[in-house]
Chains A and B, each alone.
Chain A
Amino acid sequence: MSYRSLGNPFDADTDLQHGPACNCPICVFKREPEASRYECTESQMTERLERAVFDDAATSADPSPVFAAASAKRQPFATSDDVMDRAVESAIVRGLFGHNDMSRRNFLGLVGGGTLAGILGTMLPMDKIKAAVKEEMLKPEKTKLKVGFVPITCATPIIMAHPLGFYEKYGLDVDVIKTAGWAVARDKSLAKEYDASHMLTPMPLAMTMGAGSTAVPYRMPAVENINGQAIVLHVDHKDKRDPKDWKGFKFGVPFDYSMHNFLLRYYVAEHGLDPDKDIQIRVVPPPEMVANLRAGNLDGYLSPDPFNQRAVWEKVGFIHILTKDIWPGHPCCAFACSDEFATTLPNTYAALLKSIVDATHYSQKAENRKEISAAIAPKNYLNQPVPVIEQVLTGRFADGLGNIQDVPDRIDFDPFPWHSMAVWILTQMKRWGYVDGDIDYKAIAEQVYLASDAAKYMAELGYPVPDKTYENYMIMGKEFDWTKPEEYVQSFAIKRA
Chain B
Amino acid sequence: MLQSLHLRAALVSVMLLVVLLGLWELTSQPPAATEALTEYELLMGGADQEARVPPPSAVIGLAVAELSNPFYDAGPNDKGIGIQLGYSIYRVLTGFTLAALIAVPVGFLIGMSPLMYKALNPFIQVLRPISPLAWMPLALFIIKDSEASSIFVIFICSIWPMLINTAFGVASVRTDWVNVARTHELNAFQTAIQVILPAAAPTILTGMRISIGIAWLVIVAAEMLVGGTGIGYYVWNEWNNLDLTSVIFSILMIGVVGMMLDIALAAATKAVQYQE
Point out residues on A near B: beta carbons under 8 Å: 151, 175-180, 184, 187-188, 190-193, 287-288, 290-291, 310, 312-315, 378-381, 383-385, 387-388, 391, 396-398, 400, 402-404
Are B145 and A402 in touch, CB under 8 angstroms? no
Point out residues on B near A: beta carbons under 8 Å: 39-40, 42-45, 47, 49-51, 74-78, 140-141, 143-146, 224-228, 233, 236-243
Instruction: Assess A404 versus B43: contact at CB under 8 Å? Given A177-B77, A178-B77, A290-B242.
Output: yes
Q: Which residues of A contact B77 (CB under 8 A)?
A: 176-178, 379-381, 383
Residue of B nearest to A186 (CB): B140
Instruction: Assess A184 versus B50: contact at CB under 8 Å? Given A312-B44, A378-B78, A404-B43.
Output: no
Are A180 and B225 in touch, CB under 8 angstroms? yes
Knowing that A191-B143, A313-B49, A387-B45 are A-B contacts, what are 19 other residue pairs whose CB atoms are under 8 Å apart, sorted by A's residue number? A175-B76, A178-B76, A180-B225, A187-B144, A187-B146, A191-B144, A287-B239, A291-B242, A310-B242, A313-B50, A380-B78, A383-B77, A383-B238, A388-B45, A391-B43, A397-B43, A400-B44, A402-B40, A404-B43
Q: Which residues of A contact B242 (CB under 8 A)?
A: 290-291, 310, 314
Q: Which 5 A/B pairs are nearest by Cβ-Cβ distance? A: A191-B144, A398-B43, A287-B240, A380-B78, A180-B227
Picked from B44, B144, B227, B240, the residue with its CB within 8 Å of the CB of A315 is: B44
Q: Which residues of B contact A176 (CB under 8 A)?
A: 76-77
Picked from A193, A312, A381, the residue with its CB within 8 Å of the CB of B146 is: A193
Q: Chain B contact residues: over half helix, strand or loop, or mixed?
A: helix
Q: How far is the CA of A290 from the CA of B78 in the complex (A)?
A: 22
10 A–B contacts from the bound complex (CB under 8 Å): A177-B227, A187-B141, A190-B144, A191-B144, A287-B239, A313-B49, A383-B243, A384-B241, A397-B43, A404-B43
Q: How far is the CA of A179 from the CA of B77 in the complex (A)?
A: 10
Residue of B nearest to A398 (CB): B43
Are A383 and B237 in touch, CB under 8 angstroms? yes
Q: How far is the CA of A433 from the CA of B93 in the complex (A)?
A: 45
Picked from B40, B233, B241, the residue with its CB within 8 Å of the CB of A398 is: B40
Residue of B nearest to A315 (CB): B50
Q: How many A-B residue pairs have CB under 8 A?
A: 97
Are B145 and A191 in touch, CB under 8 angstroms? yes
Q: How far is the CA of A315 from the CA of B51 in the complex (A)?
A: 10
Q: Chain A contact residues: over half helix, strand or loop, or mixed?
A: mixed
- Closest chain-A Cβ to B137's Cβ sits at a distance in Å of 8
- Closest chain-B Cβ to A391's Cβ sits at a distance in Å of 6
Interface centre among B42, B50, B237 (most CB of A within 10 A): B237
Are A177 and B44 in touch, CB under 8 angstroms? no
Q: Which residues of A contact B243 (CB under 8 A)?
A: 383
- Closest chain-B Cβ to A145's Cβ sits at a distance in Å of 12
Are B45 and A180 in touch, CB under 8 angstroms? no
Q: How far is the CA of A188 from the CA of B77 in the complex (A)?
A: 16
Are B226 and A184 in touch, CB under 8 angstroms? yes
Q: Which residues of A contact B51 (CB under 8 A)?
A: 314
Q: How far is the CA of A104 from the CA of B210 in the complex (A)?
A: 82
Residue of A nearest to B243 (CB): A383
Q: How far is the CA of A398 from the CA of B43 in the complex (A)?
A: 6
Picked from B39, B44, B140, B227, the residue with its CB within 8 Å of the CB of A178 is: B227
Residue of A nearest to B226 (CB): A184
Residue of B nearest to A187 (CB): B140
Picked from A188, A383, A387, A402, the residue with its CB within 8 Å of the CB of B241 is: A383
Are B237 and A178 in touch, CB under 8 angstroms? yes
Q: Which residues of B contact A404 (CB under 8 A)?
A: 39-40, 43
Q: Which residues of A contact B43 (CB under 8 A)?
A: 387, 391, 396-398, 404
- Closest chain-A Cβ to B78's Cβ sits at a distance in Å of 4
Interface centre among B50, B140, B146, B240 (most CB of A within 10 A): B240
Q: How far is the CA of A193 from the CA of B229 in the complex (A)?
A: 14
